[in-house]
A and B are shown apart, each in its own frame.
Chain A
Amino acid sequence: MSPARRPLEGIRVADLTAMWAGPYATMVLADFGADVIKVEAPRAWDNLRTLIRPPLALGEHWWNSNAYFQEYNRNKRSLTLDLTTERGKEIFGRLVAQSDVVIENFRADVMERLGIGPDWLREQREDIIVVGMASFGKTGPDASAMAYGPVVEQLSGLASLTGYGDGIPFKTGVSYGDPVAGVAAAAAVVTALIQRRRTGRGQVIDLAQREPMTTLIGEAFMEWAMNGRLMPHRGNESATMAPHNAYPCAGEDEWVAIAVGSDEEWAGLCSAMGEPGLIDDARFATAPARLDHREELDPIVAAWTATVSKDEAFERCRTRGVPAGPVWTIPEVLGDAHLEQRGYYEDAEHAEVGTWAMHGWLWRTTDAGPCVLAPAPDLGSHNREILGGLLGVSDEEMDTLAASGVIGDTPIGERTRSEIVGSRR
């Protein structure tokens, strides 16, 4: 059976986003079939291309081939265009005229400073959908503040809820605010497409990255409203479940997370631990009793987990209906048997680095086929087909534009991998 038509086929996105939040949004749109044209400039490329430098970043033209950039920019096309030049801006206007969506995650004032704010964009195409993803939004006294994911996390309230219980707040390992804003922005775009289909009108979306993040801690607002209390740091403990923790396993820095709510799960854990007699222990007989005695309970569970591998602890729990999860390292996530069997990782290929695995569908749909149809584009690699084919720029003019750096296929001022690695010897 041939793969189903992708839902966003026929939708064109002029993508000015950079780093992680914005490109995550357009990754979702591209995966689901939109023609995402990533617009960068030879002097102002997506910083994600060069944020992690060689030797970690692989490939001679590492700004094209490194995995961080590749993962979130697959299925897109690349056009370079210097928007600070008159000609670049004029050609961009032609692209906008043939696009459904323009999306950016610049600081709040950048689009207006470039002279390509919503009014200008609507002049190019009346029903254009414009999405801005400034950290705190385009309006209000904090609009001019800039932030990356960890600051967004701090100012969303989530960091205030994360910690071991000694008062020190912690950030989530990744720049958690970025993909949250990205998925929300993808939803905003398609909501606007649905509305445009009915009304014929475009719209301007002002997505403050901090705001969708803040919706992910709703119960903390309710606790404040209802009881005037801030939710405490609970470490790995739960207000309602015990055992509920990361327990050390055999080996160094090996852990398994176990969470027991019901009495059935508790019975399952007793069996998994080979301690059937514990079921009769009155201290642990009910969920409230287990919570009251969690300080006695945790060492009992930890004494067992210390004797087994995290894989074995997981298997023994899983087969008995006990919620558990090994604290996978990152290579272990990539090798997770379940993800493997579901075909979660797909092969990506780039001439400079060969084949490696990247995550595919964020969610699966009927007869979807493979997610990754093309690796992330080399800088400017679609200039000719887009400028010539779509925007009516002659070959001759393309040469002129290349000579003046309005377009190009190399980040101006950046060095190749061998130049960088060589200079460190």
Chain B
Amino acid sequence: MTTADADGAPEAGPLEGVRVLDLAQGIAGPYAAKWLGSLGADVVKVEPPAGDPARLAGPFPGDESDPEASGLYLYLNTSKRGITLDLESEEGRGLLRDLAARADIVIESFAPGYLAGRGLDYEALRSQNPGLVLVSITPFGQSGPYAGTPAEEITLFALSGHMWLTGDPYRPPLKNGGSQPSYQAGLNALAAAIIAHFGSLMTGEGTHVDLSAQETLAGMLELYGPFASQAGIKPRRRGNTVSAIYGTYQCADGYAGVYCLPRNYENMARAVGIPELLEPPFIDADERLRSNDMLEALLSGWFFQHSGREIFEMGKSHRFPAGYVATVEDLLESEQLRERHFFAEDDHPLAGPVRFPGHLWLSSEYAWDTRRAPTLGEHTADVLTELGVSDERREQLRAGGALGGSDGS
């Protein structure tokens, strides 16, 4: 799946030569490390002998659980090599120290104190590698009263204020879809790793990044956090509809939305084509708010007559912000995403053909490189050889339990 330039020669990724150790499990850390790999870094994923728990999470082809065919794992661990190490063994810890001594970035998501308890805290790791960046991702950070408290997506969504703001005002607060707190922590960890690595390149000094999922979420409370703080405003969830021109409607084939600021209103009104929309009371922004229910009724009728795609196209041609609730199937068929080569493809030996998001942005200087996720311990032998561990020594380590199961060699 390696992308190539027009001459067929692989392009150097922007992070070529950067070495990353991904000790993290689940979603957040692996998500960050996967993109570092796609950008050209050499990412070694270190799994415990039992494997990353994401291998057990699915989805699975035909719903048959298989640690080598978990959709979540396969998505989050592309463009990495995979090894197994038992950090509960002294020899496993020694190998990790050796790997960290050569790494630029280490990403981990253990509970606070886990690495320190094994002599692998930041001070220990940087003593042999002063430029090292360690990114620690946890639900609540390394310090403070909640540090070490277990968390799930829904509890982080609640503790960051987002759940209070999401959902129908007449129903309970609602968690948004998927695993957003973890993905959000992962995206922030990606930026954190890259920025800290740049700092290390400039000064020779690494740093320890303490990233709390709760804090990354609490930093994105739009106007609600700031106005609560400065002006004492107490917002509450408002469902899909803030006003008639800022909301979601049922359309002919599903749901569509128009999310206009006052300055977009007239363009929208022209597209809708109901003449009264361009007359009082609707033409004036303040009057319009006082006639909000009437406007909502008029727009409801219009939405119902059009498909989501038609409404989106009208937004395009008349220049107002309109969209529709797209499913992943819609996105896979999107001409726009196809033209931008957004999806990576893989014909996985166990999982079959899969297509999934393959980049975060496009650059004039490089293409994103997607390679399939490793099987458990697939590259243990290769990576240990690069460390100077002989085949014989490797077999001793394996026999002693430092490497866990098969290395695929």
Q: Give Cα A314 to B224, complex, Å.
A: 24
Chain A, residues 219-263, CB within 8 Å of chain B (1/0): the string is 111111111001101111010110011101000010111110100
- Chain B interface category by residue count: 35 or more
- In the bound complex, do residue A221 and residue B328 qualify as a contact, i.e. CB atoms below 8 Å apart? yes
**Interface residue count for A (Cβ, 8 Å)?**
153
- In the bound complex, do residue B235 and residue A330 qualify as a contact, i.e. CB atoms below 8 Å apart? yes
- Residue from B35, B168, B356 whose CB has the most chain A CB atoms within 10 Å: B356
B115 within 8 Å of A (CB atoms): no
A162 within 8 Å of B (CB atoms): yes
Q: Which of B144-163 contact A (CB under 8 A)?
A: 144-147, 149-163
From B145, B158, B228, give the contact of A326 (CB < 8 A). Answer: B158
- In the bound complex, do residue B226 and residue A8 qualify as a contact, i.e. CB atoms below 8 Å apart? no
B239 within 8 Å of A (CB atoms): yes
- In the bound complex, do residue A363 and residue B154 qualify as a contact, i.e. CB atoms below 8 Å apart? no
B261 within 8 Å of A (CB atoms): yes
Q: Give Cα A339 to B34, complex, Å.
A: 29
- Quick one: given A195-B365, A208-B340, A328-B164, are A358 and B226 in contact (CB under 8 Å)? yes
- In the bound complex, do residue A333 and residue B218 qualify as a contact, i.e. CB atoms below 8 Å apart? yes
- In the bound complex, do residue B326 and residue A155 qualify as a contact, i.e. CB atoms below 8 Å apart? yes
Residues of B within 8 A of A101 (CB): none
What is the CB-to-nearest-CB distance from B99 to chain A, in angstroms, rounded to a whole number?
A: 21
Q: Give Cα A259 to B149, complex, Å.
A: 13
- In the bound complex, do residue A204 and residue B195 qualify as a contact, i.e. CB atoms below 8 Å apart? no
From B74, B165, B191, give the contact of A187 (CB < 8 A). Answer: B191
From B76, B145, B203, B325, give the contact of A154 (CB < 8 A). Answer: B325
- Residue from A32, A71, A199 whose CB has the most chain B CB atoms within 10 Å: A71
From A230, A325, A331, give the contact of B151 (CB < 8 A). Answer: A325
A203 within 8 Å of B (CB atoms): yes
Residues of B within 8 A of A169 (CB): 240, 248, 255, 325
- In the bound complex, do residue B357 and residue A192 qualify as a contact, i.e. CB atoms below 8 Å apart? no
- In the bound complex, do residue A190 and residue B143 qualify as a contact, i.e. CB atoms below 8 Å apart? no
Residues of B within 8 A of A140 (CB): 335-337, 339-340
- In the bound complex, do residue B362 and residue A330 qualify as a contact, i.e. CB atoms below 8 Å apart? no
What is the CB-to-nearest-CB distance from A237 to chain B, in angstroms, rounded to a whole number?
A: 9
From A68, A147, A332, A359, give the contact of B227 (CB < 8 A). Answer: A68
Q: Give Cα A154 to B319, complex, Å.
A: 18
From A148, A207, A341, give the contact of B321 (CB < 8 A). Answer: A148
From A139, A236, A329, A359, give the contact of B234 (CB < 8 A). Answer: A329
Q: Give Cα A25 to B236, complex, Å.
A: 27
Q: Which of B178-212 contact A (CB under 8 A)?
A: 178-180, 183-184, 187-192, 194-203, 205, 207-212
What is the CB-to-nearest-CB distance from B189 to chain A, in angstroms, rounded to a whole number?
A: 8
Interface segment among A86-94, A174-182, A289-297, A386-394: the answer is A174-182
Q: Which of B348-406 contact A (CB under 8 A)?
A: 351-357, 359-366
- Residue from A56, A147, A322, A357 whose CB has the most chain B CB atoms within 10 Å: A147
Which residue on chain B has the smallest CB distance to residue A240? Answer: B57
Chain B, residues 281-305, CB within 8 Å of chain A (1/0): the string is 0000000000000000000000000
From B203, B208, B227, give the contact of A52 (CB < 8 A). Answer: B227
A206 within 8 Å of B (CB atoms): yes
What is the CB-to-nearest-CB distance from A379 to chain B, in angstroms, rounded to a whole number?
A: 18
From B187, B221, B339, give the contact of A174 (CB < 8 A). Answer: B221
From A163, A186, A207, give the contact of B191 (CB < 8 A). Answer: A186
A413 within 8 Å of B (CB atoms): no
- Quick one: given A150-B257, A318-B149, are A353 and B219 in contact (CB under 8 Å)? no
Instruction: Name the 7 nearest CB pairs between A and B, nearest first.
Output: A173-B165, A7-B199, A161-B177, A222-B71, A325-B155, A67-B226, A67-B230
Cβ contacts A to B, 22 pairs, < 8 Å: A7-B195, A24-B220, A70-B226, A147-B321, A150-B257, A154-B248, A154-B325, A162-B174, A188-B360, A190-B194, A194-B15, A220-B328, A222-B72, A224-B332, A225-B351, A230-B328, A323-B155, A330-B225, A342-B141, A342-B212, A345-B229, A362-B188
